[in-house]
Structure 1
Amino acid sequence: MTEVDLDDIGARLVGRFGADAEGWLAGVPALAERLASRWDFALGELFDSGASSVVLRCRWSDGTPAVLKLSPDGPLLTKQLEMLRVFAPSGRVPAVLAADADAGAMVLEEIQPGTEAEHLPSSTLPAQWGDLLAALHSVAPPEGWPWSLRGRFEESFDRIGRRITEPAISARVGPATWRRAIERCERLLDTQADVVLLHGDLHLGNVLDGGPRGLIAIDPKACVGDPCFDAVDYVVGGAGREGVEARCQVVATACGLDGDRLYAWSRVIAPMFAISHLTYGGPEEALDEFLALAS
């Protein structure tokens, strides 16, 4: 890793975990070398690290392309491992090749070609999404699975809702809009009928082209709830393009979902998309559509 890489990753890790992450990051090169020796893989370059981990390409001893994921948050990594393993029978998540939760480390197969779903042909993506959901949702929730869609939304509304007091956010997304989203969400949660084990965070950046295997989902936040939820981020991504309503109709048909409920879920998460848009930027027409959905 270069010094620039370390600085960039360090800023993101400190933003999430605090100043102690700097000391942990300083030990990452030595930790990676120890694990490479222990598990017999060759280390490669830095690969798409997020806000909670450092990810390095590597090559397993039999030649399998893989990624080494390291995190200062051992419990978080343990939870990620549990969720990957519960979805393993679907064949639609990366295989876990090795793991040591105490070290905050796991090695996963690298998905190839690995193109993110948002860059795949829009004409074939709805049917592929339907196949992915059918595979993921065929996995029975383990008995006593502790995470639910209701709990997921309670956390999201609490965490994201703190931001509506920020001037740039409150000018476009006010308390009334936020309350309306919560009320809509509660109505949908109260009327859930057939619930499944959801991926829970199935946006277009968390779905990769796995070649002959079809679409592969990464970073699951598995929870039990309405199957429509695993299509809603894809649907809302139609804002500023063909439009959310038009995409909803296509996706609902391709995935065998209730189109009215799917559209209703899009109105729940629209203000969250608007807040993200106001934070990170993007086409104004998409923001306008998010706000119209949230109204």
Structure 2
Amino acid sequence: MAFEPPQRLVRALGETAANGDDWLERLPEAARRAVALRELTVERVQVPGGRSSLVLLVRRADGTPAVLKLAPPRARPESERVALAHWGGRGAVQLLEPVAEDGALLLERLHPEMSVRSLPEAKALLEAAGTLRRLWVEPPRGHVFETVAGRTGRQAEAMRASAGADLVPLVDAALAARAELVAAPPEHRLLHGTFRQSKVLAGDRMPWLAVGPDPVVGECAFDLARLVRDRVEDLIASPSGAAMTRRRVKRLAESLEVDQERLRGWTLFRAVESGARARRVGRPQDAELLLEFAAWL
């Protein structure tokens, strides 16, 4: 079977590829080796799939359905492996293979066609928030996960370097919010890192389970901030979008017991960072939506 990467993955990795990075070229052969090593039967490549990995729907030698995930080193698959092992299936997809020399992840099969995003908005937010709460645990002792301060520090430098004159006020506000937030975080928990409604899939073992973490250690409000802007296109299209956004911040902060102002600050920073990055890599429509959303905060 040919393991051609979906175009969504090719485009996304092309935005961040460094010179000399031939991971995509080596991917078909790497996938064949990973399948053979585990004696898997491939049903199909998941399409459109994710933006940072190739996902194969497979069956193990005993017929059990599973998922094989291959990601480039810059997507930090080993960090994902350690986080999934630490969660042990509580709120997240179950890791089926604790150690793998080739870096591939063998995971329990969920239902990729059904994410929380398919639910009505209010129900989707409720279910997503409940899933996220289960992931906020003490990190493993001696962990080497990236910190919120470290990750956002790198992002802040990129924002400063690439912001055009029209973005300076928003970037300045986002950077000021970050500086205040990282100075005194209220807790240090293991966080999903890229949590949103589409990262919560229906399962058999539990109704909803999170997938695709890019784990980081820091305060819970950072993780929740990405959820605030879910369905941003619907918020922007609504005449009351700004008011709806402020109500969403308040409702999510109260339901998950995080400080509302800290959630607002991280939502601002993450929206501006994502908008500036979208503009930098040539996605002007995404950038416009995110930056308009950020201006409401």
TM-score, scaled to structure 1: 0.80
Q: 1:56 maps to which residue?
A: 56
Indicate the residue corresponding to 1:291 in structure 2.
295
The answer to whether the 8 A contact 2:272-2:290 is kept is no
Report whether the alignment pairs 1:245 with 2:235: no
Alpha-carbon distance in 2 for matches of 1:177, 1:236: 17
The total of aligned residue pairs comes to: 284
In structure 1, the partner of 2:149 is: 150
Q: Cα offset for 1:257?
A: 2.4
The offset of 1:77, in angstroms, is 2.4
Q: CA deviation at 1:289?
A: 3.3
Change (3 A) 1:158 1:49: farther
Which digits, 9 at most, give the CA deviation of each residue in 1:222-277, with x for residues without a partner?
Answer: 22222122211111335425531011122223223222322232222232243356
In structure 1, stretches of 5+ residues that fail to align are none
1:164 paired to 2:163: yes
The answer (yes or no) to whether the contact 1:43–1:57 under 8 Å persists in 2 is yes
Change (3 A) 1:110 1:120: same
Aligned-residue CA RMSD in angstroms? Answer: 3.2
Normalised by the size of structure 2, how large is the TM-score? 0.79
% identical aligned pairs: 24
- What aligned pairs does 1:182-197 form with structure 2 within 5 A after superposition? 182-197=175-190
Separation in structure 1 between the aligned mates of residue 97 and residue 112 of structure 2, nearest angstrom: 22
In the TM superposition, residue 194 of structure 1 has moved relative to its aligned partner by: 3.2
| Pair 14,258 (structure 1): closer, same or farther in 2 beyond 3 Å | closer
Match of 1:73 in 2: 73
Please give the secondary structure, in 1, of the residue aligned with 2:96. Answer: strand
Q: Given that residues 3 and 45 in structure 2 are in contact (C-alpha distance below 8 angstroms), is that contact kept between their aligned partners in structure 1?
A: no
CA shift, 1:32, in A, is: 3.1
Question: What is the 5 A alignment of 1:1-295?
Answer: 5=5, 9-10=9-10, 12-13=12-13, 15-18=15-18, 20-22=20-22, 24-47=23-46, 48-73=48-73, 76-88=76-88, 91-98=90-97, 101-112=100-111, 114-137=113-136, 139-146=137-144, 147-165=146-164, 170-171=165-166, 173-174=167-168, 176-210=169-203, 213-237=206-230, 239-240=235-236, 241=238, 242=241, 243-275=244-276, 278=279, 279-281=283-285, 287-293=291-297
Aligned partners of 1:14 and 1:269: how far apart in 2? 22
For structure 1, which segment, 263-272 or 10-19, has the greater mean C-alpha deviation from structure 2 after superposition?
A: 10-19
1:199-232 per-residue CA deviation (whole Å, 9 max, x = no partner) reads 2221233232336614322222322222122211
In the aligned structure 2, how far is the partner of 1:114 from the partner of 1:291? 33
